[in-house]
Structure 1
Amino acid sequence: MTIDTTTLLAIIAMAVVTYFTRIAGLFVANRLVLRGRAKAAFDAIPPAVLVAVIAPTALTTGWAEAIAAAITAAAAFRLPLLGTVAVGVVSVVLLRGVF
């Protein structure tokens, strides 16, 4: 196996750029003073990203996963994170056994 120098340099450059953009976000976010609607918008980003990652998988894999996702979403309003994860895992296992 040979390593192409150009490809290796491109991979390293992409890794460095990715790392610096993530670190820059942390430094810039600490200096921002958000109020009102801007704060509400920034607070909505993590759940929106989570839903964007989970929803396609939950809704395209089958009925068991879709129902388990709904059960887990309902549990998330009442339980802490660990409890919500446990409810999600147990519900998908049980529902896969049914379907």
Structure 2
Amino acid sequence: MEITLLQLLTILGMAAATYSTRALSYLFLRGRGFSPDVKKLFEMMPCCVMVSVVAPSFMTTSIPDLGGLAAALLVAAKKSLILSVAAAVGVDALLMHVL
């Protein structure tokens, strides 16, 4: 399986969108006092971007995609966002190879 230039640019664009939500909020709002609820909201912004990327997987009948989604949900319940993404990609790739 080869990755195309468009796929690579899409992945890099999603990574930039995920990172920029956190970096820009800290850059523009540093030095201000916020309530714990607002701070929690800022920490959850990258997760919101990831949900918008993953949400279409809920509407699929593809076994590898559903397996990756299940892995992401299971890992996200206990571990960090990056580990849930890695688990989803790993399970999806494994199931595509096996099936």
Distance 1:41 1:89, change over 3 A: closer
RMSD: 3.2
Letter of the 2:30 partner, please give it: N
TM (norm. structure 2) is: 0.52
Query: CA, structure 1 residues 97+24, in 2 after alignment: closer, same or farther (shift >3 Å)?
Result: closer
Q: TM-score of the superposition, structure 1-length normalised?
A: 0.52
Which contiguous aligned blocks of 4+ residues in structure 1 show a shift greater than 6 angstroms? none
User: Aligned residue for 2:58?
Assistant: 59
Is the radius of gyration larger for structure 1 or structure 2? 1
* 1:89 matched residue in structure 2: 89
Task: Tell me the residue number matched to 1:68.
Answer: 68
Q: Would the alpha carbon gap of residues 85 and 36 (structure 1) be closer, same or farther in structure 2, given more than 3 Å must change?
A: closer
Q: What percent identity do the matched residue pairs reach?
A: 23
- How much does 1:47 deviate? 0.9
2:96 and 2:32 map into 1 onto residues whose CA distance is: 46
Q: Which runs of 5+ in 1 are unaligned?
A: 1-21
Distance (whole Å) between structure 1 residues aligned to residue 33 and residue 42 of structure 2: 11
Cα distance, 1:39 vs structure 2: 1.9
Q: Once the two structures are superposed, what CA deviation does each residue of 1:55-99 show, in whole Å capped at 9, x if it has no partner?
A: 22x234523212211212212334456654443233112322455
- Structure 2 runs not aligned, ≥5 long: 1-20
Q: Which amino acid is 1:89 matched to?
A: V
Count residues with an aligned counterpart.
77
